Amino acid sequence: MDVPGDALLANLAQALGARLEAARDRLVTAESCTGGWIAKTVTDVAGSSSWFDCGLAAYSYEAKQALLGVRAQTLEEQGAVSRDTAIEMVSGALVHSGASVAVAVTGIAGPGGGTDDKPVGTVWIAWKRRGGYPHAELFHFDGDRDAVRRQTVGEALRGLERLL
């Protein structure tokens, strides 16, 4: 998988913004491994205030629980980097915002933190429309921390396009 550069991410965000605005949808992001990079990318688009509601960067277990409603049991049994956590994050983002569309990401960007079961580059991305069912997908990205995070942002934006 190619690592998207700034220009490609900007193009993806611009196209997404046009789709969200045309549909009168508003976006919320719930980010762990990207630390707000998705929110930054979409708010770099002029006029994004008409379709971007808010972004939540929740790294710690406590933040995931308090800001996004992720259950302690999920974090204890599945870990932060899991399908269940991503789904609870994306659902919680919609509950705690005025948005109609959400994306959530949780993963291991590295260089440390990986395990045999969840190596560096393991990322879960979840998408959801208000009133709909969440969809989560597992990715295994290659490269250093920056490359993993860039690929995550790119796939998060592409997934939102597919959702719309």
> How is the chain split into domains, by residue range?
6-163
Task: Name the band, by pLDDT with cuts 50, 70 and 90, for residue 148.
Answer: very high
Query: How many C-beta atoms lie closer than 10 Å to residue 33's C-beta?
Result: 25
Identify the CATH homologous superfamily for domain 6-163.
CinA-like (3.90.950.20)
| Amino acid (1-letter code) at residue 70 | V
Contact 84, 78 (CB under 8 A): yes
Q: Does residue 1 surpass a pLDDT of 80? A: no
Tell me if residue 31 falls in helix, strand or coil: strand
The per-residue pLDDT for 34 is 98
Whole-model pTM: value is 0.97
Element (H, E) at 103: strand 101-107
Tokens of 14: 């611009």
- Mean pLDDT, the chain, whole residue set: 97
Given the structure tokens 């976006």, which residue do they identify? 27
